[in-house]
Amino acid sequence: MVARKTRSRIIDAAIRIVRENAPTKLTLDEAARQAGLSKGGVLYHFASKDELIEAMIERLVRDQETRLLQLYEQEPQGPYRWLRAYVRYFFDPGSPGSDPASSACLAAMALNPAMLKPVNTMMKLSMKRIMSDAPDRDRAALISMGLDGLFLNQAMGFQLYDDETLARLRGNLLSGLLAGEDETPGRPVAAASAS
């Protein structure tokens, strides 16, 4: 129990370092200092900085899962319920794309693809959920791809859209999904079969 709390405290410290300073400031020494431990205490739990970053990624994925489940429960029943939860999540001002810890993890994953495993698992689960209640799977996939792009836009610091535009896009997406629209613009609606 104590070891788990200490491990969690180190991960908290690492995330705080990245959020308050910069990813380049994350070292095992700094994590130890912020967690109130010796470097040896950190090394007992994490043999390397990569192991600590992997633990950060796992924590961020767990936190995302918790938040998504909360949003899903708040959504009214109906088509696209999961997708509506994801839209709310990714358009939220505290979305993962605006979190410096997500940006740091993204950079680490680019350098060490083995760190992608928990994110890959989470993304596959996300797509399975989104498709589970989507009347138009192509439409759901396109919106999901757009959300991925929004995340990357924010994580990379591009900020291509102002707050007003983001709010309008979010509103348009949600109102269309709540209405259960199942036609994708430009996509022909299937004709009824002649009997």
What is the tens place of the pLDDT at every residue in 131-190?
999 999 999 999 999 999 998 888 888 888 999 999 999 999 999 898 865 444 434 333
pLDDT digits (tens, 9 = 90+) for 12-44: 999 888 888 877 888 999 999 999 999 999 999
Residue type, 4: R
Percent pLDDT > 90 in the chain is 55
pLDDT of res. 3: 84
88 pLDDT higher than 90: yes
Q: What angle do CA 104, 109, 115 make, to 5 degrees?
A: 120
What is the rounded average pLDDT of the residues 95-124?
A: 82
Give the residue among 90, 69, 72 at the shortest CA–CA distance from 80: 72
Average pLDDT over residues 46-69: 92
183 secondary structure, DSSP code: P
Query: Are the C-beta atoms of residues 39 and 32 closer than 8 Å to each other?
Result: yes
Question: How far, in Å, CA of 169 to CA of 15, rounded?
Answer: 30
* pTM of the full structure: 0.82
- Looking at every residue in the chain, the average pLDDT score rounds to 86
In whole angstroms, what is the distance from residue 39 CA to residue 159 CA?
Answer: 37
Is the pLDDT at 119 greater than 60, yes or no?
yes
CA dist., res. 134 & res. 182, Å (int): 9
Percent of the chain residues topping a pLDDT of 70 = 92
Q: What is the pLDDT of residue 181?
A: 55
pLDDT at 77: 94
For residues 83-99, average pLDDT: 87
Backbone region of residue 188 per phi and psi (left: phi > 0; alpha: psi in -120 to 50; beta: other values): beta
Residue 52: its pLDDT value, please? 94
Q: What is the dihedral of CA 173, 178, 183, 189, to 10 degrees?
A: 180
DSSP string, 85-136: HHHHHHHSTT-GGG-HHHHHHHHHHHH-GGGGHHHHHHHHHHHHHHHHT-SS
Q: In this predicted structure, what is the pLDDT of residue 102?
A: 81
Number of neighbours of residue 171 by Cβ within 10 angstroms: 12
DSSP annotation of 46 reads -
